[in-house]
Every structure is written in structure tokens, then in C-alpha cells.
Structure 1
Amino acid sequence: MTDTASTPLLLCADDYGLAPGVNAAIRELIAQGRLTATSVMSLCPHWRSGADALRELKGKADVGLHFTLTDQPPLGPMPILAPDGRLPPLGRLMGWAYRGTLNAPAARAEIRDEQSRQIAAFTDAWGAPPDYIDGHQHIHQLPVVRDAVAEALASLPGAYVRLCGEPVAAVLRRGVAVPKTLLIGGLGGGLRRMVRERGIPANDRFAGVYDFAGSRPFADLMPRFLDGIGGRTLVMVHPGLPDEDLRRVDTLVEPRRAEYDYLRGPEFAALLEARNIRLTRFAGLPR
């Protein structure tokens, strides 16, 4: 390491609870000090079975709720959003959000009820409330959904929220999945304003978006995600070990293995040392 002060970074793995192989990969990386947060899909069947093993690592990483309103069966009845017992795909949910459909009182109530159920399922298995809230496929940024998230955070003192915006110039310099990154960041303007107005703790920089197509090795992407980091930066990753449970519920399979292999390997350790980056939980980021 150099003699100058190190740069802190929050490295967050999404989708804990989705499948046993995802759970195992995330736990291993936390144990190795290669992750400092993980986001839990508490409505998935592998959350409760994975909570005990994750609890053995308590204190090594922030553990938050990955609020989910797409593709999975909800924890309770949702006759408007999930009439057939399965939450809608992302495109449909976004359409509803921006056409005002989610503003209907019954739809708003369903979102709040499901979020309460997911927080309760998290807390029941974990033994404590979530350290933070974010959203699967970034749905926590959508109109109406973001209001429910902010209200939930008001009842979770000290909990933070993940913001997904970056300066446009930084996105363009990186040159990775530029349209997708700008879209995700652009969706978060309303949540960012809400966070500032209500004094909710949050990161102020975000990275980790790419197309998952495998056209560029993850080893080429991570250095770009770390370019120019500073302040309260959060980088999102999706490591996992492919298994049949994962293949049944998700199309993102082999890229998870590639991320896992890289994050646990010597190349990532060398990158952190060369850049003088220190992985930390949210409490270790500058205020």
C-alpha cells in the first residue's frame, strides 16, 4: 500500500436468497473480505435457509433488503399487481409506474403491504431489521415505490438507501453500457431529492452496471468501475455459483460465476492494492 490515505469503497452483492449457489458464493466472498454488503431477496425460498449461515459472518458486511416487485411470487396476496400469483416483469411495472397506474390507492396499498411482508420476513430470519433498502432491478427508484421505501426507512433508524445515479461525464468516460447506466441513473432523480429532503443516509456515487452479455471479461470491467471513485461510492456486483435452482428462476447464470471467480482471485486483490482502495461497510464511508 502507498503512504497516502486509502480510498474507501462499499462493494455490494445483490440477490442473496435467490439460490443456494448465489448464497454460498456471497458468503465466501464476505468471509474473505471481498464484499462489504449484500442485498437479500427475502421473498425467495432460499433466504430463510441461508440466513443462519450468513449470521455466522454478522459484522463483516451490511445486510439489507433487496425489495422485489418483479418476476417472483409475492409473500402475500396482490390482486392488482400479481393477480396470477407472480409479480410482473420489469417493463410492465415501469409502464404502470410512469403511466400513473401505481397511484391508485389499492395499488399503493399492495406495494406497502408487500414491502412490510418482505421486511418482516427479513427480520424474522435475520433477527434484526435490514441495514439498508435497495431494489431488485432498481425498482426502489420508481414513482410510488420510492415513496413506500422512504416511509419504511423512516421506521428503521440508521438504515440507508442505495442511490443509483452517477455524473454523466463519469458514465461517458467509463464507456460501459452507457445507455443502460444513464437510464438507471435517470430513474433515480426523484428518490435522490426525497433522500436529501428527509435526511436519509445514502451513497453519493454508484457503479457496476453492464450488459451481462459476456462480451467483455469482468476483469476488464471492474477497473473501469473503480476509476475516479471517491466520497460515498457503492459498486454493485452479482456473484454466484450456478446451480439448478438458479437456472430455474433467473436468466443471469454464467456471468455470476465469472464475477465470483474474479472477486475471489488475486487479480482483484492486486487491483485494490494498486489503487489503494479499502473495502468498507457504509459506516466506514466519509460523511
Structure 2
Amino acid sequence: MKKITLCADDYGMHPGVSEAIIELASKGRIQATSCMVTSTNWSEQAKHLTPLQDKIDIGLHLNLTEGKGLSSGFMNGFPSLNQVLIKSHLRLLDKTALLEEITAQYQCFLDTTGRAPDFVDGHQHIHHLPMIREALLSVLRRFKPDPSYWVRSVTPIIHHGGGLKSYIIEGSGGKSLLYELINQSINTNTSFAGIYSLEPKENYSALMKCWLSESYDRGLIMCHPGKTSGHNSLDHPEARQLEFDYLSGQDFVEDCQNAGVDLCRMKQ
């Protein structure tokens, strides 16, 4: 059987997201979650991860595009994703500000959880963009995490369901980051899947079947579950609820079995 890690992004972004992730992790349906420490909900929701530290990989979801940052350069707000995409490729981002913000988010994770993140990835996949990937790797060298830590690679990507979006994600710096990870002997996943429109019209279970089938051994699939009941202001509420319902049900278990997939932590 091939080993696959299912990672739920955005822990701490919203109570409905965090609740869904905690429940899925407790059931053994996900093996990793990445945390948005810039969220106003992070400090309160971080404590609920403590019982799961030996069950799943818990990582830093580096954020540079949503809300406000933790350092002086971004305390008034982050730029939009489009601005970051353009400025990073033109190398117009402030290198010092990037280093300070990435350091602040890494340190916040350490201070709040009492441990280093098991891995690092990026909100909206910004961690592999030019300038940002160099700054991130520089910060990681400074903190010297455990040798078993890993960094998410978005290439080779399983394009099924992702359309043009998946090609843009992979082509905006994914291969360059993978080269650096290999060159620096940093652990990473062998394939990446989970990109789709996040529209409720999508057949999520059908997409997951394809991702499970086409992923490589030691591959990574990301997901964005959430619970909408009793929660307001949750982005993509219908899609998040649909993901949660499927992942918490028996159909997902059977789909993994039929695909010959053994769900496991990336660090193992």
C-alpha cells in the first residue's frame, strides 16, 4: 500500500475550521494540519492541539496575504495575493520585512505551542514564491528545527480538478523550491494534490478518489474542512462543510482502501 498524508489547512483561522480539524484528527482521518498564527483566534484555539501532538503533524501555515501580520512591516495589513505574486517575481518585496515577519510567525508558533512546527507550508501557497522561499529557508536555518521536519512542495502536482489554477500554483515557484529542498536535504512530499475551485457544485468525493489513485507514495493531499453550524463569516462555507462531511464518513475510509492507500504522518 502507498502511504499518503492528508493535511487540513487553516487551523486557527476560524472556530468552525478548527473544530472540524480537531474532530477529523481525533478520528484518524487527517494526519497533519497547518496553523495560521496571525489569526485573532489562534491563541485560544492553539491549546486544543496539545492532545494531538503525538497523533498528527502540526505545522506553520505561513501567511502573507490575509489580515494583518505580527511584525512592524505588516501590522497595518498584508498586501493582496496578486500584489505578492507580481512583486515577488519582480523581486520588489522588502527582504528585511519578509525575514522579520516569517521569524515572528515562527516564533509565535514556538511561544504558543511550546514546540517547533513539524513542517511549514504557505497560505495560498506563497511560501514557494521568489524572495519568500529564500527568506523562509534562511529563517529555518536560523531556528534549526528537528531534522525530521518537512516543507510542503506543490510539485509534481496532481492537476485533476485544479484547472488553470493548479498550473499557476506549480509554475509560480514550486519547482524552484523543490530544487532547494533537495539541495539542502530538507524532507518534503513526493507529490501534491487537493487543488480545486472550492465551489459546492464540485463532486468532492470523486475528486478525492482521483487524488488518492494518482498520488505517489509519500504524497500529500491538502483539504479545507469546516463546520458551518453555529458559525458565521466562514469563507467557502458550503465547500468546507461538504469536505468535512465526506472526510468524517465511511465512504472516505472505503475510498482509501479501494485505492490501496495507507494514511500516515509525513514525519513517520
Task: Give me the TM-score of the superposition, normalised by structure 2.
Answer: 0.94
Q: Is the 8 A contact 2:224 2:240 kept in 1?
A: yes
Question: Within 5 Å, which residues of 2 pair with 1:100-119?
Answer: 100-102=91-93, 107-119=94-106
1:230 aligns with 2:223: no
1:269 aligns with 2:253: yes
Aligned to 1:3: none
SS at match of 2:70: coil
Matching residue within 183, 196, 219 for 1:197: 183
AA aligned to 1:137 is Q
SS at match of 1:195: helix
1:157 aligns with 2:141: no
The superposition leaves residues 64-83 of structure 1 with CA deviations (integer Å, 9 ceiling, x where unpaired) of 000000021111211xxx47
Question: Within 5 Å, which residues of 2 pair with 1:211-230?
Answer: 211-230=197-216
Q: Is the 8 A contact 1:18 1:246 kept in 2?
A: no
Q: Is the 8 A contact 2:199 2:236 kept in 1?
A: no
Distance 1:75 1:22 in 2: 22
1:183 aligns with 2:199: no
SS at match of 1:56: helix
Distance 1:243 1:131 in 2: 31
The superposition leaves residues 26-56 of structure 1 with CA deviations (integer Å, 9 ceiling, x where unpaired) of 0000000000000000111211111111111
The superposition leaves residues 2-30 of structure 1 with CA deviations (integer Å, 9 ceiling, x where unpaired) of xxxx2111100000010111111000000
Q: Is the 8 A contact 2:57 2:267 kept in 1?
A: no
Segments of 5+ residues of structure 1 without an aligned counterpart are 1-5
SS at match of 1:182: helix
Distance 1:259 1:245 in 2: 16
> RMSD of the TM alignment (CA)?
1.6
- Displacement after TM superposition at 1:218 (Å): 1.1
Distance 2:14 2:216 in 1: 33
- Displacement after TM superposition at 1:97 (Å): 0.6
Of 59-68 and 227-236, more deviation after overlay is shown by 227-236
Q: For this pair of structures, how many residues does the alignment match?
A: 264
Q: Is the 8 A contact 2:2 2:218 kept in 1?
A: no
Of 151-160 and 275-284, more deviation after overlay is shown by 151-160
Segments of 5+ residues of structure 2 without an aligned counterpart are none
- Displacement after TM superposition at 1:229 (Å): 2.3
Distance 2:15 2:146 in 1: 31
Distance 1:121 1:75 in 2: 9
Aligned to 1:132: 119
AA aligned to 1:57 is L
Question: Within 5 Å, which residues of 2 pair with 1:4-153?
Answer: 6-78=1-73, 82=74, 85-102=76-93, 107-153=94-140
AA aligned to 1:90 is L
SS at match of 1:163: coil
AA aligned to 1:253 is P
Q: Is the 8 A contact 1:133 1:161 kept in 2?
A: yes
Matching residue within 239, 250, 253 for 1:255: 239
